[in-house]
Amino acid sequence: MSFIVPKEREVAQGVVIPSPVGENEDMITSNWRSKRPYMKDLDKCDMCRNCYIFCPDGCWVVDEENEVVVWNAKYCKGCLVCVTECTEKALDVADELDFEDGVVRLEKSF
């Protein structure tokens, strides 16, 4: 089987294409979400970093200076793996529309 690749998308064989470093604004996927994780009790968080490690989309960032994990809402699809993996039950689940910035609507067509 062969594929027809448009000329403008051709890449020479063996070429390494660098991946984006940091946030990629073209990959915002939060508008799929109907539920979101939130930090229910920061005092319970023991910085085990399970939310950071197990998140399939890298939505948690470790802030070493303040010793907290910070959630990045733009890329969270609402899979809630972080809540399941939180050993101290510091995270909980809420309906997206419970928040003023809830995104259960498409702001950009895909």
Q: How far apart are the first and last CA of the chain?
A: 29
Contacts of 12 (CB under 8 A, 6+ apart): none
Q: How far apart are CA 30 and CA 43, in angstroms?
A: 27
Task: Say what percent of the chain tops pLDDT 70.
Answer: 85
34 pLDDT band (50/70/90 cuts)?
A: confident
pLDDT value, residue 106: 52
- Decide which of 85 and 5 is more confident: 85
Residue 109: burial class (beta carbons within 10 Å; 0-12, 13-18, 19+) = exposed
Cβ atoms of residues 22 and 69 within 8 Å? no
The CATH number given to 41-97 is: 3.30.70.20
Domain extents in the chain: 41-97
10-31 pLDDT, tens digit each: 777 776 666 656 677 777 777 7
- Kindly state the average pLDDT of the residues 34-41: 93
